[in-house]
Amino acid sequence: MNRVEAPRYHYVVVRADLPVGFAMAQVCHAAGESALGGPVPDGTNAVVLAVTDEAQLLAVFARLEARRLSPFLIREPDAPYHDQATAIGLPPRVGRVRLLSALPLYGARQRVLRPHQEDPTPVP
């Protein structure tokens, strides 16, 4: 009888306030750093989630660390970010991380408005 394995997940959390191309580079860094030096097992689900800004990213990182989930924090050393935290990667794991369940998928129609911007979405 074949044993069915539980699904594996490789989570990355990235800031939604970053330009899309730059954010994708940070996703690559976070996925690579958290892969633990080997190929990700076949059948692993890649999940990219979003936070609004650096403060929320650091709060998520602290909670992941407190639960000993081995998060990898990515910082961008170059201008204009000057060592800001940009993404988090978690090593591939069996099962979902409940702590991340409230975060939206990256690009899932979220919009991050800066304080000086108005929301152009018409109110019904």
Q: What is the pLDDT of residue 111?
A: 52
- Among 102, 82, 104, 81, which Cα is nearest to 23's? 81
Q: Which pair of structure tokens corresponds to residue 6?
A: 């539980």
Q: What is the pLDDT of residue 3?
A: 66
Whose tokens are 């979405």? That residue is 121
Residues 6 or more apart whose CB falls under 8 angstroms from that of 30 comprise 12, 13, 14, 72, 74, 87, 88, 89
Separation between Cα atoms, residue 4 and residue 31, nearest integer Å: 26
CA 100 from centre of chain: 9
Q: What is the pLDDT of residue 113?
A: 46
The pLDDT tens digits of the residues spanning 22-68 come to: 999 999 999 999 998 788 889 999 999 999 999 999 999 999 999 99
The average pLDDT across 107-119 equals 55
Q: Is the pLDDT of residue 11 over 80?
A: yes
Binned at pLDDT 50, 70 and 90, residue 123 comes out as very low
Binned at pLDDT 50, 70 and 90, residue 5 comes out as confident
Separation between Cα atoms, residue 8 and residue 39, nearest integer Å: 13
Q: What is the pLDDT of residue 35?
A: 93
Bridge partners of 12, per DSSP, are 48, 89
The pLDDT tens digits of the residues spanning 78-106 come to: 999 999 999 999 999 999 999 999 999 99
Report yes or no on whether pTM surpasses 0.85: no
H helix or E strand, kind and range, residue 71? none
